[in-house]
């Protein structure tokens, strides 16, 4: 079996400040679970000892408890993998997951930083459904409200959802009627396909006055624990203070906030 590479904690996690007695043992046990979860496959005892900084007898004692409680399990060669109990816990967590609750403080900070309006939306059949909004401190703002819908193909959020979602769903969407919202709305299937390809290439979507007269936006996808795109985040502003050439400069900020929201709901970026 090839050796599995896991990040070393150097014992730091195992000696959490303020933990003592049973609590300290719990922290050490969670360190071992974290290391197994971070690996690309089953992990050998020696690797866990090295990465955690724990004495071998301590690691063995904790691993035996984790095996007994089905938090971990062993492979045929004695290496360690995540156990079925974690699947139960994880599903319970996901069942109660509210992406809006994890996003609202970050959206407020982004709106304050950019001085423009921030939206969070999900796909609802052929529309974007707006779940949350952080208003610009400026008087002139986009018209969309929480609970309203707009077409996928004419909005930054919608194009992010289409571009980074399953390709077959984007093709199916393009075959349907594409509503004209402004003179800039893309309504030809081939042009929409090209726009989605460009969106994938640059990593973010642009609405160049395609949904609401006089409004531009830049949007980024939000992924869940499985890497699937479940929502998108945008910053929108009146076109007179949000030139097309300004969008690439703002995109990294939107992408960073979208990634932070994703990390809060369990997404982990693939290793480079």
CATH code at position 238:
3.30.450.40
More confident residue, 128 or 272: 128
Question: How far is CA 25 from each of CA 28, 71, 76, 213, 225, rounded to the nearest angstrom?
Answer: 5, 15, 27, 60, 28
Q: Which domain holds residue 74?
A: 13-95
What angle (nearest 5°) sits at the alpha carbon of residue 41, between those of residues 39 and 45? Answer: 75
Beta bridge partners of 124: 127
What angle (nearest 5°) sits at the alpha carbon of residue 117, between those of residues 112 and 120? Answer: 110
120 and 245 belong to one structural domain:
yes
Is the pLDDT assigned to residue 86 strictly greater than 90? no
110 and 233 belong to one structural domain:
yes
CB 236 within 8 A of CB 142: yes
pLDDT at 180: 94
Question: What number is the average pLDDT over the span 156-185?
Answer: 93
Average pLDDT, the chain: 86
What angle (nearest 5°) sits at the alpha carbon of residue 174, between those of residues 168 and 175? Answer: 95
Whole-structure pTM over 0.75, yes or no?
no
Q: Which residue has the tokens 């690439």?
A: 248
22 vs 216: CA distance, rounded Å: 55
Q: Which residues contact 22 (CB under 8 A, 6 or more apart)?
A: none
157 and 191 belong to one structural domain:
yes
Of the candidates 78, 15, 13, 7, the one whose C-alpha atom is nearest the C-alpha of residue 36 is 7
pLDDT at 40: 75
Supply the CATH number for residue 63's domain: 1.10.10.10
Is the pLDDT assigned to residue 2 strictly greater than 60? no
197 and 176 belong to one structural domain:
yes
163 vs 93: CA distance, rounded Å: 28
Percentage of the chain modeled with pLDDT above 90: 57
Assign 257 to helix, strand or coil. Answer: helix
Q: Which residues contact 9 (CB under 8 A, 6 or more apart)?
A: 31, 34, 35, 51, 52, 53
Give a yes or no: residue 103 inside a domain. Answer: yes
pLDDT at 8: 45
Give a yes or no: residue 104 inside a domain. Answer: yes
Per-residue pLDDT of 215-257, as tens digits, reads 999 999 999 988 999 999 999 988 888 888 888 889 999 999 9
68 and 127 belong to one structural domain:
no
Dihedral of the alpha carbons of 203, 99, 263, 14, in degrees to the nearest 10: 180
126 and 214 belong to one structural domain:
yes
73 and 113 belong to one structural domain:
no
Per-residue pLDDT of 107-121, as tens digits, reads 999 999 999 999 999
- What does the block give as tokens for 30? 């969670």
Q: Which residues contact 80 (CB under 8 A, 6 or more apart)?
A: 32, 36, 42, 43, 44, 45, 48, 63, 72, 73, 74
183 vs 212: CA distance, rounded Å: 10
């Amino acid at each position: 079996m090839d050796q599995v590479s896991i990040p070393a904690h150097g014992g730091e996690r195992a000696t959490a400040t303020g933990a003592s007695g049973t609590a300290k043992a719990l922290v050490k046990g969670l360190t071992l679970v974290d290391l197994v979860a971070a690996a690309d496959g089953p992990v050998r005892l020696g690797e866990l000892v090295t990465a955690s900084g724990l004495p071998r007898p301590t690691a063995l004692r904790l691993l035996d408890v984790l095996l007994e409680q089905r938090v971990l399990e062993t492979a045929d060669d004695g290496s360690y993998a995540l156990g079925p109990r974690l699947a139960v816990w994880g599903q319970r967590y996901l069942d109660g997951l509210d992406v809006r609750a994890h996003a609202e403080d970050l959206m407020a900070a982004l709106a304050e930083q950019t001085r423009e309006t921030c939206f969070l939306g999900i796909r609802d059949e052929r529309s974007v459904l707006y779940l949350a909004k952080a208003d610009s401190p400026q008087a002139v703002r986009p018209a969309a409200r929480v609970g309203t819908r707009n077409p996928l193909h004419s909005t930054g959020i919608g194009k992010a959802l289409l571009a980074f979602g399953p390709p077959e769903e984007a093709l199916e969407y393009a075959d349907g009627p594409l509503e004209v919202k402004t003179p800039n709305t893309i309504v030809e299937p081939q042009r929409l396909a090209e726009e989605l390809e460009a969106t994938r290439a640059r990593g973010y979507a642009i609405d160049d006055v395609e949904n609401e007269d006089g409004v531009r936006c830049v949007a980024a996808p939000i992924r869940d624990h499985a890497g699937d795109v479940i929502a998108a985040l945008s910053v929108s502003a009146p076109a007179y203070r949000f030139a097309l050439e300004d969008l690439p400069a703002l995109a990294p900020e939107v992408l960073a906030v979208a990634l932070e929201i994703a990390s809060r709901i369990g997404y982990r970026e693939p290793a480079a």
